[in-house]
Chains A and B, each alone.
Chain A
Amino acid sequence: MPKIRVMPTLLFKDVGLVKGVAFDSWRRVGSAMQAVKVYNMREVDELVYLDITATSDGRPPDFETVDDLADECFMPLTVGGGVRTVEHVRRLLKVGADKVAINTAAVEQPALIREIADRFGSQCVVVSIDARRRPDGTYESYTHAGRRPVGKNPAALAKDAEAMGAGEVLLTSIDRDGTLQGYDVELTRLVCEAVSIPVIASGGAGTYAHMADVLREGRASAVAAASMYHFTEQTPLAAKQYLREAGFPVRL
């Protein structure tokens, strides 16, 4: 069995890292380079780096910054934000990204998923889906950093993306984001049952027990988290020690 992965998420906005609540109320949490160096030293399983305003600002990915960060990052790195063309992907992989996450472009031009998968392989295309629960209990997917509804539920969107060649899903609950109240287990399970590619659960992690819940009940392959590392004393290493005790295969 591959080990379950515990992945810190770094959100970049303007000049540094931020963390918000429900994709809003952003607080500064330090420099990206410093964070990459620390996580590299601690040998975390994998890192996610998302430039959250690139698409809304109409910017391409900042290849230079990713190049600098990747030079210090001897661990798997997924990069997202502003990726709209095959050329963007080629350049990100070249400077050191291992996988590329696409969100808005995956919805607006799904053929891009197929093009990237054909050229670079499915394994490097991560489709990032941001979802919010509707009042009736069903779910809606969003693009543009959570601002624009897609008109499709996340399970259907994930299934479509898989059919186009996506290799992984990064699934974020907007409602839970930054709340430290726990992952949306039901949302995660819906998406995991709809696809046969790995799903990374994101949004809401506040304790190690939340991670165990979404891995066991939600059937996620990996758990991403940000606030609990930025704002509490909890660490990815301690998370894995907890998860090992709870019976999950982890890399320590």
Chain B
Amino acid sequence: MKRVAVVDYGMGNLDSVGRAIEECGGRPIVTDRAAEIETATHIVLPGVGAFGDGIRNLRARGLDEILREHAVVGGIPFLGICLGMQLLGARGHEGGVTDGLGWIEGEVRRLEPAGQDQRVPHIGWNEVSFTRASPLFTGVAPGHDFYFVHSYHLVCRDKEDVLATTPYCGGFVSAAARGRIFGVQFHPEKSQRLGFQVLRNFLAV
């Protein structure tokens, strides 16, 4: 069985992510300890909150280095969800300018309404259109709706890192990847059947 480290840095909807992983056949281990992250088959970085607090909490627990060692260097498949995806970026602009993990080149910026009745935060179900094939989306039809609840988004510098976009506020990156490091702006753990499909796909990486 897949042992999934769900990283606890005081910011996440840890139980929801853990329960969804259970339903998808994995064993979630909610943890902030190096020993448990090191022996995991997969790592998930959930996240609900502000970018500045998120990165400070990771650093205060030494998790930025631990995660880098095992995900970037060690190659354990990694999935950042919502704020967890944004933290992959090089820099955030929420609550002042803060450096992120920098594993994916890009900046995290606020959504800017591009028309009437484009309200921010972006809350609800919206389409995810693929820009390139990824094992993360096996069995998911293009344009399927996933659940979003966010005000910021990762602007990728390198188009190669973009997996999917969503048509809102001028279009934003709703999934990105570099190697085995994945990020999704939507909440697979709250997106019902095909959300679980994305989690199962990740556990199969």
A residues neighboring B (CB under 8 Å): 1-5, 43, 45-46, 67, 70-71, 74-76, 93-99, 118-124, 167-168, 196-198, 219, 221-222, 251
Contacts and interface: CB of A to CB of B under 8 A. Distances in A.
Contacts of A74: 19-20, 23, 189-190, 192, 195-196
Interface of B: 11-16, 19-20, 23, 48-50, 53, 83, 94-95, 113, 117, 119-126, 145, 147-151, 167-168, 187, 189-190, 192-193, 195-196
A55 B49 CA distance: 26
Contacts of B148: 2
Nearest to B47: A121
Q: Which of B113, B125, B196 has the most CB of A within 10 A?
A: B125
Given A5-B124, A124-B48, A221-B124, 11 more contacts: A2-B126, A3-B124, A74-B192, A74-B196, A75-B190, A96-B13, A118-B50, A123-B149, A124-B149, A168-B123, A222-B124
Contact of A45 (B11, B122, B125): B125
Contacts of A45: 124-125
Contacts of B145: 3, 251
B191 to A, nearest CB: 8
Q: Which of B23, B48, B124, B145 has the most CB of A within 10 A?
A: B124
Given A3-B145, A43-B193, A74-B20, A93 B48 contact: yes
12 contacts: A2-B123, A45-B124, A45-B125, A70-B15, A75-B147, A75-B192, A119-B50, A121-B94, A121-B151, A123-B151, A168-B121, A251-B125
B128 to A, nearest CB: 12
Given A70-B15, A94-B13, A123 B125 contact: no
A152 to B, nearest CB: 22
B167 A1 contact: yes
B187 to A, nearest CB: 7
Nearest to A90: B10
A71 B15 contact: yes
A97 B189 CA distance: 12
Nearest to B13: A93
Contacts of B16: 70, 96, 98
Nearest to A99: B149
A67 B124 contact: no
Given A3-B124, A3-B145, A123 B150 contact: yes
A5 B167 CA distance: 17
Contacts of A198: 119, 121, 123-124
A121 B121 CA distance: 10
Given A119-B50, A120-B48, A2 B149 contact: no
Contacts of A219: 117
B45 to A, nearest CB: 16
A2 B189 contact: no
A97 B16 CA distance: 8
A39 to B, nearest CB: 11
A221 B13 contact: no
A168 to B, nearest CB: 6
B117 to A, nearest CB: 7
A96 B149 contact: no
B98 to A, nearest CB: 14
A3 B122 CA distance: 11
B149 A1 contact: no
B120 A196 contact: yes
A2 B125 contact: yes
Given A3-B145, A75-B190, A221-B123, A95 B117 contact: no
A71 B124 contact: no
A122 B110 CA distance: 12
Given A221-B119, A251-B125, A94 B50 contact: no
Contacts of B120: 196-197
B15 A94 contact: yes
